[in-house]
Amino acid sequence: MYIQHFGLAQYPFSLTPNTRYFLKLPSHQKAFDLLVTALDGVLHFAKITGEVGTGKTMLCRKLLNALAFHPEKYLTAYIPHPVLSEEGIMHAIADELGIDRDDNISYRALLKTVTAALVENAQAGKSVALFIDEAQAMPEETLKAVHLLTQVDLADDNHLQVVLFGQPELEELLERPGLKSLQRDLAFSYELSALDLKGLKSYIAHRLDKAGYNGPPLFTEKALDALYQASGGIPRLINILCHKSLMSAFGKGMLLVDEAHVELAISDTEGVGDSSSMIASLFSH
């Protein structure tokens, strides 16, 4: 809608995670660097937590892309919706690893088949890196089943490496008595924080640049302050508010986003301000 108006090549504030827009902010870059180092060592389990919208999925995809450059060393598996039974998670892992099996295979046979594939890859010098998003939603027994896969006794103890990405509730899940052994195997834990004001400004400028914008500052300082106060530095909420602010400025025929446009976006966003219909007012001059 507003791409040509602002001289953009694409929408800069899409909610779909796109590693092209990954910004090396201190918190996120530190998490990325530490995870890469951990995966290169002996790692059974790692944990990344953060509030909704802090960039966990973006980080996960960035890691998947990084490991894809080393197919001789890693096989990767990604499970975005882990609300599965023990059997369901094993089928999901088998699908990700391209493991053939009968449609009516028993759980016991499925577990043996997946384990055999892990052993075979380890013997070939490859480690399987399993990334589980929204891990706070996993049933306890399902998480235990994944933990069991890491317990295969091999000379090379790096056959399966599991990284859990989840909201803060993941901490509560892992503190359950039945998961104490998994807690002991956690080699790495990191919490993604929200952006500060400086980080928000860098984030917005970076996304605009990646989207093809090369003009003067598009958001006024007061607009940026309002965005920070309303979003709390949460990237997903920043994206929502920036997109709506650009829509508002475009609807008014403006080439600069000011505080009034941001306030209109805030009032239209549930959980930030009083929800109202912004669309009707966008094109009233």
DSSP string of 215-257, one letter each residue: SS-SB-HHHHHHHHHHHTT-HHHHHHHHHHHHHHHHHTT-SSB
Retrieve residue 203's tokens.
């984030």
Q: What pLDDT sits at residue 187?
A: 85
Instruction: Tell me the three state secondary structure of residue 5.
Output: coil
Top-ranked range on mean pLDDT: pick from 43-47, 92-96, 123-127: 92-96
Whether the Cβ atoms of residue 54 and residue 235 lie closer than 8 Å to each other = yes
pLDDT band at 159 (very low <50, low <70, confident <90, very high): confident
Q: What pLDDT sits at residue 276?
A: 39
Structural domains of the chain, with CATH: 26-191 (3.40.50.300), 197-282 (1.10.8.60)
Whether the Cβ atoms of residue 256 and residue 218 lie closer than 8 Å to each other = yes
CA distance 233 to 264: 18
Report phi then psi at 65, rounded to 5.
-65, -40
Q: At 47, which amino acid appears?
A: K
The residue written with tokens 């929408």 in the block is 11
Whether the Cβ atoms of residue 93 and residue 114 lie closer than 8 Å to each other = yes
Run of H or E including 186: strand 186-191
* Lowest pLDDT segment from 7-21, 84-98, 99-113, 261-275: 261-275
| 217 against 283, higher pLDDT | 217
Task: Give the percent of the chain with pLDDT over 90.
Answer: 76
Average pLDDT on 101-121 reads 93
CA distance 18 to 125: 31
User: Which residues fall within 8 angstroms of residue 102, CB to CB, at 6 or more apart?
Assistant: none
Instruction: Tell me the three state secondary structure of residue 24.
Output: coil
Q: What pLDDT sits at residue 244?
A: 97
Q: In this model, does residue 258 exceed pLDDT 60?
A: yes
Q: What pLDDT sits at residue 157?
A: 62
CA distance 226 to 21: 23
Instruction: Tell me the three state secondary structure of residue 163.
Output: strand
DSSP state of 147: H
Task: Give the percent of the chain with pLDDT over 70.
Answer: 93
Helix locations, the chain, DSSP H: 26-39, 56-68, 86-97, 107-123, 140-149, 169-174, 180-184, 197-210, 221-231, 235-251, 259-267, 279-282
The residue written with tokens 């399987």 in the block is 128
